[in-house]
Amino acid sequence: MQGNGIDGNEVPKIASPGTNTLISSHSRVLCKPSVEAFEAAIRIANIDPQKTIFFDDSARNIESGKAAGLYTVIVGSSTLVPGADHALTSIHNIKEALPEIWEGGEREQEVEQLIQSAPVETVVLA
pLDDT tens per residue, range 55-80:
999 999 999 999 999 999 999 998 99
Note the pTM of the prediction, 2 decimals. 0.61
Q: Where are the alpha helices (DSSP H) in 1-126?
A: 35-45, 59-67, 94-97, 105-116
18-66 tens-digit pLDDT: 555 555 556 677 888 889 999 988 998 899 999 899 999 999 999 999 9
